[in-house]
Amino acid sequence: MSPVQLASKRNRESQPTENGLPRSGRNPAGAFALRHRESARVLALVLLIAVGAAIRPGYLTEHSMVSVLLPAAPLAALATAEAFVMIRGKFVDLSVGVTASAAAVLAVSVSPHGTIPAVLAALAVGATIGLANGIGVGVFRGNPIIVTLGMSSVVGAITLAASGGSSSTLSPGMLNNFGTASLAGIPEVVLAVALILIVTAWWFAVSRWGRMMRLAGDSELGFRVSGGRPVAGTIVAFVLAGLFSAVAGILLASYVQTLDFTIAANDTLPAIAGAVIGGVSLFGGEGSPWRAGFGAVLFGFLTSVLLLAGLSPYQEEIVEGVLVVTIVYLTEKLLGR
Amino acid sequence: MTTVKRARAREYTRIAGLARTGRAAINARGYLILVTLYLIAGLLSSSMFQAGTIRAIAANGVPLVLVATGEAAVLLIGELDLSVGAVTALSGVFVIVLLNHDVAPTVAIGLAVSAGLAAGIVNGLCVALLRVSSFIVTLGTSLVFYGIALVGANGVQVPVSRFGPTTWLGTSFAQIFTPTVVIGLVVVTVVAVAVGSSPWGRQLYAIGGDRESAERWGLPVKTRVISVFALAGAMAALGGVLSALALGTGDPTVGSQTLLTAIAGAVIGGVGAKPGEGRIGSAACGALALVVLTFLLNEENVGASAQQAVVGVVVVAVGLGRLDPAVSRHLAAKRDALMKRHVPSHGPMPSAEDGGS
């Protein structure tokens, strides 16, 4: 492509957008996808359930739906954690999985002293890790990938040392009752995540901090020039990510019988994938907590249908990796970025 | 007038000198850290200067240094490869499985390295042609490569049944060398020279410095990006093969710590803080410094999890290091002061950091 062509392409791309969305005239398929992006995701979910039901008639029963939704609940919390950082802009937090594991291990070991101390301790450790990440990325301007990767190594090592490498069991109490109880057939864990997501999404939509994170993610330079404080937004985003990772850890601790110290360590990528599938942009400024949560549920159903289709867990991992790249490619391509 | 001119010339020379010193400090960072750390280690443990210890450190370090060298080339062009850990697992399992099926050792090693090369090309194609961010691509493909390794190994560690190549690679000669060390030295030197001095390498620096300019200048950016990912894949595979042969097992779950340590090593060596800056040899030395650190921690009987924590702290600290921005800010301030003195109407010059969002 000649420099002139490149330049004209660039000019076209930098033309103003309508309502912050790419101009619809340029890419008809993209415009269609953009207009129907919400319904497309709901349709995908319905299709996945239909495929699952076609493969195994018992898929639509309450029992199997619960078995899909229960692991999807902590994943939704993790995807929400990731969403805050992604919306704030071009950041990603690779330590959410390890943070959730640390919070889960801590909650279990504090649980003999009561549920409330256990929950508070887990939330505190999550917020601390998030704060450390936020200061590293926001104040010291570290590369978020390298900082959070290093942080996950540190936290993983501390969790390993603290748990002695052995798995632990939650002592009976309120947390345990909560994890095993269900309301009208739906596990309370799932209901709790749904409630948290609704409240957070509402808060994120109307509050000053939510608006700040979205704007800073959309254009950091513009945000700074118009008098905003991007660093504060970064720190808040990472602290929220730490808190929601801790929530995922607490939920895991509440219903998993024997808790391994690496319980959620491999859930970071599924969390990112869930957020992206749900429509949180990797380039910042776009998305909301409920979208990330919905994406995680979609991802959970996808995994379960792949396993139903007769794939071994290893093969399923291969397909999952291919799907993540494909979905990110399609999302970014169709939305014209 | 001449005095003003002369003063200005002196100032410019000083600034150029500062810039050179700053860049030289970054380019030599890996070497300096390696030497300093080794001397400190020598003070703490007298065995550090014995031939056997040097050989052990070098032989243990080769796989990591190879992975870090490949990763450094990727960081140089402003991308990131998170799949190198998975590639080491994949190639390690592959070479052991091939050896157990009575394939000749050289062919087995060649095939395993080619598998890594192919994996790297897949990464490069996705990044260059699909324009998906390299971080997501390689995170996704690392799942794929781990999956393939697990399928190939049936989910368990595969022990080697023929010990010929393992023993041969570990035989020591000339006090401090083993074939593994020689392979590592030769490959890293070749890559470092190629990136540092060949036209291909200069293009990589150009792409890392400013990709759009490189594109407009007419450089084949896409093929260069693919070639760098291919290089990283092949290097990671070679590291995985050597490590699997040294251990005698192919483990489909190794690599996450290697990935982290390789990135850390490259960053310590001054590559990755800013695309288009740094030297490959320095990055390799940075990785070797981490091997020395691990060795020292082992000597001092520090446990595995504490070692992991130490590496993590080093990564975070290095990731936070604002040495390069500090140098460039210092230079910008100097330049502005100079301009203000000699060209009174001139405001602060726009610097690259204020440019984009």
Domain boundaries, chain B: 52-323
pLDDT band at B187 (very low <50, low <70, confident <90, very high): very high
B308 vs A142, A156, A282: nearest CB: A156
User: What CATH topology corresponds to A64-330?
Assistant: ABC transporter involved in vitamin B12 uptake, BtuC (1.10.3470)
Mean pLDDT, range B32-36, rounded to an integer: 88
Mean pLDDT, range B38-50, rounded to an integer: 84
pLDDT at A27: 63
pLDDT digits (tens, 9 = 90+) for B225-256: 999 999 999 999 999 999 998 888 888 888 77
User: What CATH topology corresponds to B52-323?
Assistant: ABC transporter involved in vitamin B12 uptake, BtuC (1.10.3470)
Calculate how close chain A gets to B69, using CA atoms only, in Å.
17
Share of chain B above pLDDT 70, in %: 89
Picking from A6, A143, A219 by the largest number of B CB atoms within 10 A of its own CB, the best residue to mutate is A143
Mean pLDDT, range B261-280, rounded to an integer: 84
pLDDT at B132: 83
* Structure tokens given for A241: 């990510």
Interface predicted TM-score (ipTM):
0.74
Asked if A125 contacts A106 with a C-beta cutoff of 8 angstroms, the reply is: yes
Do B315 and A160 make contact, defined as CB atoms within 8 angstroms?
A: no
Calculate how close chain B gets to A219, using CA atoms only, in Å.
6
Cα nearest neighbour of A152 on chain B: B312
Calculate how close chain A gets to B156, using CA atoms only, in Å.
12
pLDDT band at B94 (very low <50, low <70, confident <90, very high): very high
B220 contacts: CB under 8 Å, gap ≥ 6: B203
pLDDT at B1: 57
pLDDT at B335: 64
Intervals of chain A under pLDDT 50: 1-25, 337
pLDDT band at B154 (very low <50, low <70, confident <90, very high): confident
Chain B residues with CB under 8 Å of A140 CB are: 320, 322
Q: How far apart are CA A78 and CA A76, in angstroms?
A: 5
pLDDT at B339: 63
Residue B23 CA from chain centroid, whole number: 18
Give the torsion sign (CA, A4, A7, A9, A12).
negative
B151 vs A3, A145, A315: nearest CB: A315
A321 vs B147, B272, B308: nearest CB: B147
Instruction: Name the more confident of A309 and B198.
Output: B198
* Average pLDDT of chain B to the nearest whole number: 83
Chain B residues with CB under 8 Å of A319 CB are: 147
Calculate how close chain B gets to A14, using CA atoms only, in Å.
13
Do B264 and A150 make contact, defined as CB atoms within 8 angstroms?
A: yes
